[in-house]
Amino acid sequence: MIRPEDIRVVAWDFDGVLNRNVQDGVFAWSRGFAEDLGLSLDSFSSFLFQGRFQKAMVGEACLKELVTEWAAVNGAVGREGEILDYWFTSDALPDADVLAMVAQLRQRGIANVMATNNEIHRTAFIESDMGFDRHMDRIFAAGRMRVAKPDTDYFRHQEQELGMPGAHMLLVDDMAENVEAARSIGWQAFHFTEGAHDDLVAALGL
């Protein structure tokens, strides 16, 4: 049960919440990757998402270097910038309905922060190129914090940075394990699934 009267900070997940780029578990960038770039999605995904990206996500590897490494052995030498630009721009699909909620909350004096598991390069794109620095009071990203959800230290870090106890924090996230982790340390949390906009509006008392 969400207690709107106790909420002082809403921590928004990015992919699948603030950004409407995930449908049935599939990211927008991957749908046209092979056709638009003429490169193998299977090869790229297998190389990157079986451990390497997870290291980049917490600052233990560099995404640009990983994409450069893959490109060098897959007929795409020198195209790493193009690949990352395609990825980031194809996945840039802000959810206007969610941002409307953010605006209403800000009018009520409630702080809004981003709580994302993105690595540093895409975080910078989200922050500056997509302009989320204008919507969020703070952006907390796994790559900068060097810890990722659902590790409870991820949430503890935000409490410490904001000087806010968990009881006054609300996480809105599309991953059940992240919601459960936040709740386990006293946060309020809302599991945001596809089409849950109206339920979230009601839960926030908007």
- Per-residue pLDDT of 169-197, as tens digits, reads 999 999 999 999 999 999 999 999 988 99
Residues 6+ apart with CB under 8 A from 149: 115, 117, 142, 155, 173, 175, 177, 178, 181
Range of the domain at 34: 26-91
pLDDT above 90 for 119: yes
143 and 184 belong to one structural domain: yes
CATH of the domain at 189: 3.40.50.1000
How many domains does the chain fold into? 2
According to DSSP, the β-strands at 22-23 and 26-27 are antiparallel
User: pLDDT band for position 99 (50/70/90)?
Assistant: very high
118 and 159 belong to one structural domain: yes
pLDDT above 90 for 23: no
55 and 66 belong to one structural domain: yes
102 and 46 belong to one structural domain: no
Query: How much is the mean pLDDT over the chain?
Result: 96
78 and 114 belong to one structural domain: no
